[in-house]
Structure 1
Amino acid sequence: MFGKYKRLQNYEYFSQSQISDIETNERFKEKLDFLALTKIRRDSVRSLHKLYNENKEYILDMFYKRLLEIPELNYIITTYSSVERLKVSLDRHFVSLFEDELSIEYVFKRRKIAYTHAQIGVLPNWMISAYTLINQLFIPLIIKSFSKNERTMMDILLTYDSLVTIDIQIIVETYIEIQGGSVVNGLGEIIKYNTQLEQIKELVQFQEVQQQEVILASVAMQELDASIEEIAASVGDVAMQTQQALNQLNHDISSLKHVSTILQNTDDGQQKIQTDVKHLVDRVNSVSKLMSFIQDIAEQTNLLALNASIEAARAGEAGKGFAVVAEEVRNLADNTKHSVQSINDDIEKLLQITSEIDQQIKQSANDLHSSVREASQVTKTLFELNNALQIQGERFDEIVTAAKIQAQSSSSISERNKNIAESAERSKAITFEVGLAIYQLSKMIDGYRTKTISKNFILSQEDIIEVAITDHLLWRWKIYNLILGFEKMTTDDIGSPKTSRLGEWYYGKGKELLGAEKAFQDLEELHEQVYIIAKKAVEAYHAEDKELAEKFMEEITDVSNIVINKLKQLQQILIDQKLQYH
């Protein structure tokens, strides 16, 4: 009949094309192929732009009217934006849906929508509901507009639905990536923090050292306790002996005072003897002068007698009697002279002896006087010292009492030190238990992380690198805890760098995306080096060479830090590549 159209029969959307002929990145291409979204079908949707523009106000008004009826969405809209601003954003999104090329830029526009809404607390279920609401508003318009040509309507409608589905997939995947990144980074940060708790080793070692020191201190305190008791007894004996010595010293000082008095008196007598000897010397000198005078007289008499004899001889016979007298006088003068000479010799000897006695007495007097002065000073000093010692002697009783109190305190300290030693042993055990608990906690968190991200999340490449970094830290942490005694491991458990998660990424997707980067090229040798050193550390541990194992652990840490630095560089390269699409 005229005016009637034949209804569509046996319509098959996929009979026209099984895959997409649109060239784009691998992940986006998978979606386009799955939905058979070709260039022709993409172009067919462009005709909807006009339909949208004709009904834009209706669609936008009804869409936000419905959203504002939901309290949760109403709060988010009024808190973080406004309906008018959001209408502009949604309008741009519709234009993009109808006009934009299906490229990586198209994908990142949708990802940006997901990131923006996730930041303000819009959950993915509301995003899906929002797209459903848009379909409820727009699909009836499509059907009404193309109802006269069912094939065209079905092509356009299914292509439109495919585009909306792709949008929803991209947004939901982005939400999953955000959540996955949150889990990866959140749990990763916790694990990183745990793996940085290297103070556990120091604490365990400190507790071991402290325990040994407490034991040594306890032994030393017991020895000190015994020593203090011995000292207290010795101090008592010393106090008694000191008192006896002080009493004797008092007696000796009294005797010394008496001796000093005698010496002083002797010194005074010596001074008098010195004076008397001086007088004697003076008298001997006087007699010596007198003898000289007598000798002079005798010589003069002898001379006169000689002259008289000469004159008597001249007188002849008349002078014989006078000559006899003169001869006698001369003989007497000679005898006197000889006698005086003999006396004078004796006086000279006496004078010499007296002089020597005088010198000796002077020296003796000086020495005695000096000794008396020194004896007086010694007596004074000893007297003062005695007074001081007497005071100290009085304090010895106080020292004895204090020593006894100290001995009691020392015994109390020894008992408490014993308790401290027991506490140190318990503290060491607790420290070991805490370290083990921290390690077990990190293993539980890693188990949850691994299980969660392997089954429930789509991860971005930068998050995959973050997972690899965390895996690497945990692997290093495992060896660290082996040395502490919290883990069991053999060299076979070390595995191969190629079979690790980092190795699988490195020789797979990582090489495809970043193989030309220098940081990527440097990574292979460094990663292998970590495994080589790790095996040496495990071998040293099983050889009970803990010091060597810790040395290798330090080397692992140094090389591992370089590996992590290289991975972070690659991670930043991926992030920078995405920034151009924001």
Structure 2
Amino acid sequence: MKATVLKVTKGSDIRGKQMSIFMKKTKTWRDYLNFSQSTDISQVGERAKERLVFLGINLETVNHVRQASQILLPYKDEIVNQFYDRLLAVDHLKKMINEYSTVERLQQTLGKYLEQFLCAEIDQEYIMTRIMVGKTHSRIHLTAEHFISAHHFLIQFMTSILMEKLHQKPDQMIQMVLAIQKLAAFDQQLIVEVYMEETVKTFLFGVSDMLNQTTQLDTTKKLILSMDRQKEESYSVSAATEEMSSSIQEVADNSVKVAEGTEQAVQSADQSKVVIDGALDDISQVGQVYRQVIEQVNQLGHEIKQTQAVVKIIREIADQTNLLALNAGIEAARAGEQGRGFAVVASEVRKLAEHTKEQITQITSNMDSLRKVSTDVIQQIKHTGELVERTVTEAQHTRDVITQIISRMKEISQATSHIAAMTEEQAAVVTEIADRNTVIYDHSSQTQEVAKDTAKIIYDLSMKMDQYRLSFFDINVKLSSIDMIRVAKTDHLLWKWKIYNMLLGIQTIDPEQISSHEACRLGKWYYGDLPPFVKENSAYKELEEPHKDVHRFAKIAAEEYAKGNIHGTEQALQQLEQASNKVIHLLSKLESVLSSK
């Protein structure tokens, strides 16, 4: 601090003045420390009165401050300037000033503060301004340590000026200095207390918000159930893949057998083709022989016709010979004895002609039979030839078909071999899938265990956070109705959170430990002394029933879980969640109403 700050050092010797102070003092120090059990300042609340009584502040103190203001107010600007010169010399305070405001604005604010302080009108407005200062300090993170140090600068400035100006009036000087110190202590207590409360609330509601967010981490149960289903599916898939692998392996084995059988069939077909080709060649030769036979039979028929023509001529000759012999006999008979020898010859010739005729008739008959048989044979041979020709044609077609069949069988053999190879590969792939699915099953089990461990860690952490949150209430922090609502939200979200973790097997809850809706923090506030505008609000009136349900279903859930009735516990949790959501909704509405007041 600069030497110019304390003007008491100018124009005289301080030591001499201090000595003169003690020489002129007519009272002992005990005379200035009379404390009463009450105060005559009445324009403040009971809590503020308690502080005033503790510090010994009354109307007499106020009057002394006002008397001091006559001396101090002329130095207001200098005090303000000296104050900020001192603060700006500290780097982190200078940084904070530049971050949140300006020196000029803060100088104006401090000037108004000094005016109000020295005016000493201690009423609700006075207290509210100190409360706002404390809240501002909490918001900008100006610690109580720095505030108290800075505030003491102001006290030092004011007491130094008073000591300089009133050194010849020690009683008046002591009265004013003590009054300034008492009121400054009152301000410090108010501001620091509000700062501490606001800071504590910041931590309290910060922890509450984290807890509120933590209670939303209710996916662990879904994850665990999902892992259960995944494990079941993995097991089913493993069983199916094992069965499919066995089936595919069986198909592969059969495919190999089919491929081998097809290969043998192809070889047999090739051999059969050779035999069939030989048979077809023989059939073709038979066809050629039949064609030759047909030609020869046709030639035979032609010869028979020729022979019949010759026989016919011979018959005609025999008939002529017989006729000539007959005529010769007739002529020989006419000749008598001379013709007897000729008659004999004629008779022999006629006999020969008759015999020839008989033979010719027999030959003709035989030739007719032969011709008939030949005709039948020709017809049969022609029919057989047609059959042979047709057989040759069909045999040639059969050769082509057999060639195509063998070609197709070779393709089938190749395809079957390929199928067998692919089936074996598929069997290997399915086996690998089964192995991987087993790994997935193991990983699912591990993931499920990790999820349970994580859920327990999160729950344990949330309980430690709640213990830390509850420790703030031991500090005797004054909570407004809005603050109580925020705290109540967390309280009821935690109940749902505890029941949820009970279902996971992480937490055990004794049903008897669940308090009634009247005994919990929200219940005490709800049924406590509240302003009429709060109790008349519709959200306030609607809050009672769902609040009762939260406690009722929480207890039912704990009781059902103790019985081992998981389904009943889950149903109670669902009803608890519905009631809790309604409570949170109504509390939020009520919070909005209170915030607007």
- Shorter-chain TM-score above 0.5: yes
Contact persistence 2:553–2:572 (CA under 8 A): yes
Whether contact under 8 Å (1:45, 1:98) holds in the other structure is: yes
TM-aligned CA deviation for residue 219 of structure 1: 1.8
Matched, 1:123 2:143: yes
Q: Please state if 1:227 is matched with 2:247.
A: yes
Out of 437, 447, 452, the residue aligned to residue 467 of structure 2 is 447
C-alpha distance in 1 between matches for 2:533 and 2:161: 44
The answer to whether the 8 A contact 1:8-1:150 is kept is no
Task: Name which of structure 1's ranges 381-390 and 121-130 shifts more when overlaid on structure 2.
Answer: 381-390
2:587 matched to 1:567? Answer: yes
- The equivalences for 1:128-167 within 5 A come to 128-145=148-165, 153-167=173-187
- In the TM superposition, what is the alpha-carbon distance from 1:185 to its structure 2 partner? 1.9
Structure 1 position 7 matched with structure 2 position 33: no
Match of 1:329 in 2: none
Contact persistence 2:36–2:53 (CA under 8 A): no
Judged with a 3 Å threshold, the aligned counterparts in structure 2 of structure 1 residues 6 and 439 are, in CA distance, closer, same or farther, namely: closer
| Structure 2 partner of 1:503 | 523
Deviation at 1:167, TM superposition (A): 1.3
CA distance in 1, matches of 2:440, 2:24: 101
Which moved further from structure 2: 401-410 or 79-88?
79-88
How far 1:137 moved relative to its partner? 0.8
TM-score by length of 1: 0.69
Asked if 1:411 corresponds to 2:411, the answer is no
Q: Name whichever of 491-500 and 543-552 sits farther off.
A: 543-552
Contact 2:40/2:58 (8 A) holds in 1: yes
Q: What is aligned with 2:374? A: none
Identical aligned residues as a percent? 28
Amino acid at match of 2:155: N
- The amino acid across from 1:547 in the alignment is H
The alpha carbon displacement at 1:202 in A equals 0.8
Partner of 1:174: 194
Instruction: Tell me the CA shift for residue 382 of structure 1.
Output: 11
SS of aligned partner of 2:232: helix
**Taking structure 1 as reference, are residues 108 and 495 closer, same or farther at Cα in structure 2, changes over 3 Å only?**
same
* SS of match in other structure, 1:487: coil
Contact 2:32 2:175 in 1 (8 A): no
Cα separation, partners in 2 of 1:23 and 1:379, compared to 1, 3 Å: farther
How far apart are residue 496 of structure 1 and its match? 1.6
Q: Alpha carbons of 1:438 and 1:7: their partners in 2 closer, same or farther (altered >3 Å)?
A: same
Give the aligned partner of residue 288 of structure 1.
none
Give, in whole Å, the separation in 1 of the partners of 2:532 and 2:166: 46
Q: Distance in 1 between matches of 2:27 and 2:463?
A: 61
Given that 1:173 and 1:458 are in contact with CA atoms closer than 8 Å, whether structure 2 keeps it comes out as no
Residues 1:90 and 2:113 are matched in the alignment:
no
Paired with 2:576 and 2:399, the residues of 1 have a C-alpha distance of 80
Change (3 A) 1:22 1:393: same
**What does 1:324-343 correspond to in 2, within 5 Å?**
none
Q: Secondary structure at the match of 2:528?
A: helix
Is 1:515 the counterpart of 2:535? The answer is yes
The correspondence of residues 519-538 of structure 1 with structure 2, limited to 5 A, is 519-538=539-558
Gaps of 5+ in 2: 1-22, 281-396
Query: Are residues 137 and 381 of structure 1, via their aligned partners in 2, closer, same or farther at CA, if it must alter by over 3 Å?
Result: farther
Q: Is the 8 A contact 1:228 1:407 kept in 2?
A: yes
Measure how far apart 1:198 and its partner are: 0.9
Write the mapping of 1:428-507 to structure 2, written as runs, cut at 5 A: 428-455=448-475, 457=477, 459-507=479-527
CA distance in 2, matches of 1:43, 1:378: 138
Q: Contact (CA 8 Å) 2:65, 2:120: kept in 1 or not? A: no
Contact 1:184–1:463 (8 Å) recurs in 2: no
512 and 92 in structure 1: CA distance in 2 versus 1, 3 angstrom threshold: same
> 1:554 deviation in Å?
2.0
Change (3 A) 1:97 1:195: same
Distance 2:458 2:409 in 1: 66
Local SS of the residue matching 2:527: helix
Structure 2: how far apart are the matches of 1:146 and 1:398? 118
Q: Are 1:48 and 1:98, in contact at CA under 8 Å, matched by a contact in 2?
A: yes
The equivalent of 1:325 in structure 2 is: none
Residue 542 of structure 2 aligns with an amino acid whose one-letter code is: D
Amino acid at match of 1:72: H
What SS does structure 1 have at the residue aligned with 2:220?
helix
The Cα of 1:445 is off from its aligned counterpart by: 1.5
The whole-number CA distance in structure 2 between the counterparts of 1:501 and 1:158 is 43
Post-superposition Cα deviations, 1:197-237, rounded to whole Å, max 9, x if no partner, equal 01111111111111122122222222222112211122234
In the aligned structure 2, how far is the partner of 1:145 from the partner of 1:539? 78
Tell me, yes or no, if structure 1 residue 108 matches structure 2 residue 138.
Answer: no
CA distance in 1, matches of 2:49, 2:399: 118
The structure-2 alpha-carbon separation of the partners of 1:193 and 1:150, relative to structure 1 and needing over 3 Å to count, comes to same
Residues 525-582 of structure 1: per-residue CA shift (max 9 Å, x gap): 22111111112222333343323322321221121122122223333344334xxxxx
Q: Secondary structure at the match of 1:11?
A: helix
Instruction: Tell me the alpha carbon deviations over residues 277-319 of structure 1, each in whole angstroms, 9 at most, x when there is no partner.
Output: xxxxxxxxxxxxxxxxxxxxxxxxxxxxxxxxxxxxxxxxxxx
Gaps of 5+ in 1: 259-376, 578-582
Note the C-alpha offset of 1:461.
Answer: 4.4
Aligned to 2:54: 34
Amino acid at match of 1:536: I
User: Is the Cα contact below 8 Å between 2:40 and 2:59 reproduced in 1?
Assistant: yes
Q: Distance in 2 between matches of 1:460 and 1:541?
A: 37
Taking structure 1 as reference, are residues 497 and 246 closer, same or farther at Cα in structure 2, changes over 3 Å only? farther
CA distance in 1, matches of 2:36, 2:166: 20
Q: Among residues 555, 569, 574, which one is paired with 1:554 in the alignment? A: 574
What SS is found at the alignment partner of 2:82? helix
1:70 aligns with 2:94: no
Number of residue pairs aligned between Structure 1 and Structure 2: 464
CA distance change for structure 1 residues 85 and 411 in 2, over 3 Å: closer, same or farther? closer
Letter in 1 for 2:108: V
Contact 1:22 1:39 in 2 (8 A): no
Where in structure 2 are the equivalents of 1:390-429 lying within 5 Å? 391-429=411-449
Contact persistence 1:225–1:407 (CA under 8 A): yes
Task: Summarize deviations over 1:471-499 as a string: whole Å, max 9, x none.
Answer: 22112100010011111113212222222
Which segment drifts farther, 541-550 or 133-142? 541-550
Give the 3-state SS of the residue equivalent to 1:562 in structure 2: helix
User: Greater shift after overlay, 484-493 or 415-424?
Assistant: 415-424
Q: Note the alpha carbon deviations across 1:129-160, whole angstroms, 9 max, x for none.
A: 11111111102333455566666555544333
* 8 A Cα contact 1:184 1:466, kept in partner: no
1:190 offset after TM fit, Å? 1.7
* Pairwise CA RMSD: 4.0
Aligned to 2:3: none
Q: In 2, Cα distance between the equivalents of 1:492 and 1:381?
A: 93
- d(CA) in 1 for partners of 2:486, 2:564: 35
- Distance in 2 (alpha carbons) for counterparts of 1:15 and 1:459: 30
Query: Residues 362-401 of structure 1, C-alpha deviation per residue, up to 9 Å, x if partnerless?
Result: xxxxxxxxxxxxxxx9999999899666534430111112
